[in-house]
């Protein structure tokens, strides 16, 4: 019985070995001899060598986050802000988790605002009636910063961080 089992296993291994070594059929049009061939130049796909546009070429589709935490006079204001660039002229702005002097304000503010983006200056301007608020883009840190140094109170800049490209 052991001899028969051994012969069957040996035969199965031999058949698998022969099947593995079986010569594959060459595709039509290939040179005889089978080796690797170099394709004709006109069959090689072209490689796109143009540089990819940087993510900040347009702000459309990007989403930004800021945790605002400032004291202005006797007022302590804390909230989260999100900016979402909808198209080339509309930005969605959401303010949530609002606390005023430590009291939770159960309100979420949502607005769609107009904006202009100046790629050569890496500047984004919110346009509200006759006023504009300029934010400057840092492409390394991936931040949008609004400098509040012109306001008579000692305030830190407002910094939005890129959370979605």
pLDDT tens, position by position, 119-135: 999 999 998 887 888 99
Q: Provide the whole-model pTM.
A: 0.64
Let me know: does 67 contact 158? Beta carbons within 8 Å: no
Q: Please give the average per-residue pLDDT across 12-23, as a whole number.
A: 51
What pLDDT digit, counting tens, does each position of 30-57 carry? 555 555 566 565 666 666 655 566 889 9
Percent of the chain, pLDDT > 90?
A: 45
Ordered by start, the domain boundaries in the chain are 59-164
Average pLDDT over residues 75-101: 94
What is the CATH number assigned to the segment(s) 59-164? 2.40.128
pLDDT at 6: 45
Q: What is the pLDDT of residue 77?
A: 92
């Amino acid at each position: 019985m052991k001899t028969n089992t051994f012969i069957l296993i040996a035969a199965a291994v031999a058949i698998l070995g022969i099947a593995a070594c079986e010569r594959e059929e060459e595709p039509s049009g290939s040179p005889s001899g089978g080796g690797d061939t170099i394709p004709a130049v006109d069959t090689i796909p072209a490689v796109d060598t143009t540089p990819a546009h940087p993510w900040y070429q347009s702000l459309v589709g990007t989403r930004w986050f800021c945790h605002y935490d400032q004291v202005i006079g006797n007022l302590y204001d804390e909230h989260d802000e999100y900016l979402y660039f909808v198209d080339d002229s509309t930005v969605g702005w959401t303010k949530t988790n609002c606390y005023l002097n430590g009291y939770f304000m159960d309100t979420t503010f949502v607005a769609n605002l107009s904006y202009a983006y100046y790629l050569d200056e890496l500047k984004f301007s919110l346009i509200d009636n006759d006023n504009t608020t300029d934010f400057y883009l840092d492409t390394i840190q991936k931040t949008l910063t609004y400098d509040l140094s012109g306001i008579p109170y000692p305030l830190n800049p407002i910094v939005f961080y890129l959370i979605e490209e």
